Structure formats: C-alpha cells, structure tokens
Copies of this chain bind each other. A is one copy, B any other.
Amino acid sequence: MTTRLGRHFIQIPGPTNVPDRVLRAIAAPTIDHRGPEFSAIMQDVLPGLQRLFKSAGPVVIFAGSGSGAWEAALVNTLSPGDKVLMAETGHFSNLWERMARKFALDVEYLPGDWRGGVNPARVEARLAEDKAHAIKAVAIVHNETSTGVTSDVAAIRRALDQTRHPALFLVDAISSLGSIDLRTAEWGIDVVVGGSQKGLMLPPGLGFNAVSEKALAAAKKAKLSRSFWDWEPILEANKAWSFPFTPNINLIFGLKEAVAMFEEVGLAAVFARHARHGEAVRRAVRAWDLELQAANPAEYSASVTAIRVPEGVNADSTRAVILEDFDMSLGAGLGKLAGKVFRIGHLGALNDLMIAGTLAGVEMGLLRAQVPHQRGGVLTALDFLARDSGRTAKKAAE
C-alpha cells in the first residue's frame, strides 16, 4: 500500500471522522467489566445516552452494529406472523424490510421512489383502514442514508395519534442520531435503532435501542426467538451498571468520551452545525449544476447528501478518481442507485474547513474525471459559510 502523507478525508456517511480524543480513549487498557471502574463508566454513559436520545426509557447498548440493533428492535417486540407497516425510502428501508421477512413477519411495504421520505398521509390512511389493529408496528427510517432524505418522524407520530392506532413505532435513527433532532419521548417512539459509527463519532461496533415502556410491555409477550439481542437480561444487569455478557469495553471508553463531548457542546449547537453544513454542501451541488437525489427541500438531510451524476457518467469511476488523486473516500450509490449517485457524508466531528476541503475534493474530482458541471461550487459554499459563521449558530444554541 502506498504511504500517503496527510490526513485521509473520510467523507462517507459513516463511519465518520472519529475525534482523536475518542480514539485515544479507546486505546486505554481493557478493564474488568464486572469491576467498580467499569460500573462508574456505565453510571456516566447510560444516563448520558438517554439525554442524547431524548428518551424517557432506557437505552440498551449492544456489541454489534446498526443492523444488529434493527434485529433487536424486531425480535424483542414482535411475534411470528405479526403485521408490520414499513415504507420504502431507499436501500436501508429495503434491508430492514428483508430482515423483517426473514423473521416471518408479515411486512406491508409502502412503495417509494427513493427520492422522498415516508409519506405521513399514506401512513395515516393505511392505519385508518386497519380498524382491527392488525398492524403491530410501524417501522421507518428517520434519515435514509442511501438517498439523503429525512422523513418527518413527528408527522408519522401524528398519523398514529390521529388514528388512535396502538401500533408500536420503531425508528431507524442510525444516520440521524447526534446529527438531526430526534425527540424519542416527545414523539412517542417505542424503539429507536442507533449505531456508533455515524453522528456519535465512534468507530463501528456498538448498536443501540432506546426503548419505551410500551415496547418493554410488548417485549413481555413477543414470541420471536431471541437470546443475544434480548433486552431483558441487559436491562436487568444495567440496573447494577453491569452487563450479562462481556460488553465492548474499549468502545464504551470511547462512548463515554463522545457522550461527554455532546454535553460540552450542547445538542442544539450540534444540530445547527449539521444543518449549516448540509446547506453549504447543497449550495455547492446546485452551483455545479448537478442534481440532488432528494427531491423535496423539506426533506433534505443534514447528515448526508446524495448527488446524481449526469447521464453517461459512472459515479463509481468519479469516486475512484477522487480517492486516488485526492485521498478522499465518498459514499457509493447503493442498490438501484449504484453508479448513479455518489454521497457526501457531512455528519459527525466536522468543521467548516473539513467541509471546504471535502467540497474542494469533489470539485477537483469532477474536473479530473471530466464530469460535465459548472465551476464554482466551493466558492458558493464558502460564501455561505463565511456569511453565516458558526458563531451565529453557536449563539443561537446558547
């Protein structure tokens, strides 16, 4: 492998740039997960996670990934044959749908064109029809990482409320958590699915479920087989700030640090920063005269932007040029978007100059890969960032 000097730009939508402070925390010597030092860490981390998830219920930490946390959300709350209402938003909603079918759930999947979010009206209509309450859960993706589209979770909650439908509400917040506001308690979300390697600024390896009382009650009756993903023994052990199995100790060292950083900065400031960076990226895209995958401005994602390349261009070749010439990793088009879009992750521990370097890498890559475009994306983004400085965002957040 060629030695590259200078820092690699990892601008995929996860894993993200892990702060050095977190990386160094992870490198601490592993300790006894049954000893007092680890308990003390858990006493910091568990309440901190609840605040981060804005959750009234507990947050379960898994040694696993986001997909594992999805599996946990399903197997803890549902029984074979249960009907689940899902909505197609892109590659990741597809994966979730496929997973649900593997567990013999009866998925009803509202189709989508991968350019929009979940349509609350359609969800409401479907729930209204379901007088018998056959639908046991509504499961959606908050921020569809494959398209850069954020769905209106509060509106889906309203759909449930309007129809007085008792279905559980499961939300994949893998690429929104710590980047885009998610109000677990306020929005009556029963299970939030999260992972460590996105807005949480950690390496991959941890999955999360924030769990409501209603979900806990459902778990008591749910008949899907479960062992590793079972909330109950974990929550029981967590009462004594412990785990029933060996947890991912070193990543939890990092989690403690990440949680502390969120508290130091404040969630409002974090969300404002993500929104600002998302806007800067989209302004660059428009200046380049390229098309966003997301069709509806109200649904633009603050954490990831998927950009369509012109007809006849292979997005993956463009990415390869950018990786080779400018040492930057961008996200590929996934599923049916393969080759048609590239994705810029603008979530996690980023600042204005990292965004500027990222956009510069894209602009130079478009030039070198001879992708038809207009110049000036970087300039436009800088104008925006210089005018609307972080200072303003910082004040707003105070």
Contact surface of A with B, Cβ cutoff 8 Å: 1-10, 12, 14-21, 23-37, 40, 63-68, 71, 98-99, 102-104, 195, 197, 201, 203-205, 224-230, 245-251, 261, 264-265, 270, 273, 323-329, 332, 348-354, 356-358, 360-361, 363-364, 367-368, 375-376, 378-379, 382-383, 385-387, 389-391
Bound: A375/B376 CA distance, A: 12
Contact of A350 among B6, B20, B63, B352 (CB under 8 A): B6
List, in ascending order, chain B residues with CB within 8 A of A20's CB.
Answer: 7, 20, 28-29
Q: Do B71 and A102 touch across chains, with their CB atoms under 8 A apart?
A: no
Is there an interface contact between A249 and B15, defined as CB atoms closer than 8 Å? yes
A37 to B197, CA, bound (A): 18
> With A and B bound together, what is the CA distance between A24 and B363 in angstroms?
33
In the complex, the count of this chain's copies comes to: 4
**In chain B, what residue has the closest Cβ to A21?**
B28
Q: A324, B391: Cβ atoms under 8 Å?
A: yes
| A364 cross-chain contacts in B, Cβ below 8 A | 352, 356, 382, 385-386
**Which residues does chain B contribute within 8 Å of A265, judged by CB atoms?**
3, 5
Name A10's closest neighbour in chain B (CB-CB).
Answer: B32
Min C-beta distance of A44 to chain B, whole Å: 11
**A-B contacts, 24 listed (Cβ < 8 Å):** A6-B349, A6-B350, A14-B246, A15-B32, A15-B33, A17-B29, A18-B30, A23-B28, A26-B27, A63-B68, A63-B205, A64-B228, A67-B228, A71-B228, A102-B225, A103-B227, A204-B247, A204-B249, A205-B249, A224-B225, A326-B351, A367-B383, A367-B387, A375-B379
